[in-house]
């Protein structure tokens, strides 16, 4: 396991702040060893949590030309037929994966193909589990078309804690299934919109791993 590059800046700032904080505690409470010890323990705990959040585990990437791979770690919270109004403007099957602060927050391409559409939308920071978050929160929308002409839209959605969405994709670019597509800092959600005849391989409540779990398959 390594530290993801998106965490480098945050960790450097955190280390600097915690060092300054502990030096200040030492100056003002030099006669109280207990307070200095508590300060050090809290600082180390916070630093550990930050490093844990930005972890990048080693994984053998899954490839499935007829499948859709989970674009994020987390829990499946929605599987439903819905109208996708931004790109397709018709009915699709929506699968939503909620990412808690304990999950790996790297995002992955759910299939290989050409990026036909990409948009970044500024927005609110509603709770990621709120159905309105898909339309009102800060988000990106990416449509990939595979070699068989099947299009899939997946959307990174910020939550109440997440305040920055990072994306590594451009319109017209060719992308590879299970490779990194972006990063969402802190709790958030990813939605995937699939054709109605797609065979769904997960159910609500399932825990999935990005780049690992097959969440759906297309008919051959």
Q: Answer yes or no: 188 catalytic.
A: yes
pTM: 0.86
CA distance 128 to 107: 16
Contact 215, 81 (CB under 8 A): no
From residue 213, give the alpha-carbon distance in Å to each of 13, 50, 101, 140, 210: 34, 26, 20, 22, 6
Across all residues in the chain, what is the average pLDDT?
89
With a cut of 70, say whether residue 82 has pLDDT above it: yes
Active-site hit among 43, 141, 188, 211:
188
- Please tell me the predicted confidence (pLDDT) of residue 196: 95
pLDDT digits (tens, 9 = 90+) for 98-147: 998 889 989 999 999 999 999 998 866 565 555 555 666 788 999 999 99
Tally the residues of the chain. Answer: 220
User: Which percentage of the chain shows pLDDT scores above 70?
Assistant: 90
Contact 79, 200 (CB under 8 A): yes
What is the average per-residue pLDDT within 55-78? Answer: 91
């Amino acid at each position: 396991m390594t530290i993801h590059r998106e965490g480098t800046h945050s960790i450097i700032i955190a280390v600097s702040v915690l060092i300054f904080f502990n030096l200040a505690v030492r100056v003002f409470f030099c006669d109280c060893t207990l307070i200095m010890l508590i300060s050090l323990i809290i600082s180390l705990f916070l630093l550990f949590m930050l490093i844990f959040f930005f972890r990048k585990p080693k994984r053998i990437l899954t490839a499935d030309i007829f499948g859709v791979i989970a674009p994020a770690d987390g829990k499946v919270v929605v599987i439903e037929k819905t109208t996708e109004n931004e790109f397709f403007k018709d009915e699709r099957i929506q699968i939503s994966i909620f990412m808690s602060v304990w999950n790996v927050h790297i995002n992955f391409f759910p299939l290989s193909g050409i990026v036909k559409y990409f948009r970044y939308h500024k927005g609110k920071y509603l709770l990621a589990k709120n159905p309105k978050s898909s339309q009102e929160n800060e988000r990106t929308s990416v449509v990939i078309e595979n070699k068989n002409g099947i299009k899939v839209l997946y959307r990174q959605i910020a939550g109440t804690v997440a305040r920055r969405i990072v994306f590594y994709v451009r319109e017209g670019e060719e992308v590879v299934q299970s490779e990194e597509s972006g990063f969402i800092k802190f709790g958030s959600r990813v939605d995937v919109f699939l054709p109605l005849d797609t065979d769904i391989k997960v159910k609500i409540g399932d825990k999935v791993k990005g780049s690992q779990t097959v969440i759906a398959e297309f008919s051959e």
